[in-house]
Amino acid sequence: MSSAGVVLVARIALLAVLILVTAVVRTLVGPSRTRGFYMALGTVGGVATGIAAAWLTSRWIATDLSAILGCVGVFAGWAVAWRFARRIPRETI
């Protein structure tokens, strides 16, 4: 298998793991629309920050880091958003 094939398989595996992690996080957030909104903002902000960081570091390292840093950014965005979302009651719709 070529290195391009290995990268493709690794990205597909990473996507499958992210789908499972997102489902678990959504279950923990609960049915509240406001909480979900905060977590969605954290997701978008985290992806944007991760991709911006990948753009800056990929030139320096000479490797595409957008997938890895995008995922790290999502987790960081969720961590920041959770600090705000946890103050909203879980049952609020």
Name the residue ranges covered by the structural domains of the chain. 3-85
Alpha carbon 71 to chain centroid distance? 4
* 80-92 confidence digits (pLDDT tens): 999 998 888 877 5
Cα(24)–Cα(1) distance, rounded to whole angstroms?
A: 33
pTM greater than the 0.85 cutoff:
no
Residue 10 confidence (pLDDT): 86
* 10-63 confidence digits (pLDDT tens): 889 988 988 898 888 888 888 888 888 999 999 999 999 999 999 989 888 888
> Is residue 71's pLDDT more than 80?
yes
